[in-house]
Amino acid sequence: MRPYIIYILIAIMSLPLSSQKKWQHIPANHPAIHYTGRFDDSKPKEIRYDWPGTTIQFQFTGNELQLLLNGGERNYFNLFIDNTLHEVLHLPTDTIYNVSDIKGRGSHWVRL
């Protein structure tokens, strides 16, 4: 069985006064990302898992974000923003997933 890989690359977008988008890339091993469950972090920039019941949580400020994920053909991700189910993702190949319809200003909690 091939282990599924989750690459967490979070690009948080904030709108500076100049109205140009400024993205901040956060690697998978950043201490602000909290992993619950069984994860393989032997390659720190590529966090791997192959077990149910795993959770990834982080907080960010902005109204858009990008996630780089590879879930495998059989995996689905429940994406929660501010404790509300935003959508269910099915990403069988390496995908940069854009989340751009985040409501409200300020800080947001994300859980996968």
Top-confidence residue, 6 or 56? 56
Domain that holds residue 68: 10-111
pLDDT tens digits, one per residue of 39-52: 888 887 788 887 78
CATH code assigned at 44: 2.60.120.260
Whether 42 maps to a domain, the answer reads yes
Report DSSP letters for the chain, one per residue: -PPPB----EEEEE--TT---EEEEE-TT-TTSEEES--B-SSTTS-B---SS-EEEEEEESSEEEEEE---TT--EEEEETTEEEEEE---S-EEEEE----SSSEEEEE-
Least confident among 10-19, 44-53, 87-96: 10-19
pLDDT tens digits, one per residue of 95-112: 888 888 888 878 899 999
Whether 2 maps to a domain, the answer reads no
Whether 3 maps to a domain, the answer reads no
Whether 25 maps to a domain, the answer reads yes
Q: How many folded domains does the chain comprise? A: 1
Q: Residue 20 has what pLDDT? A: 54
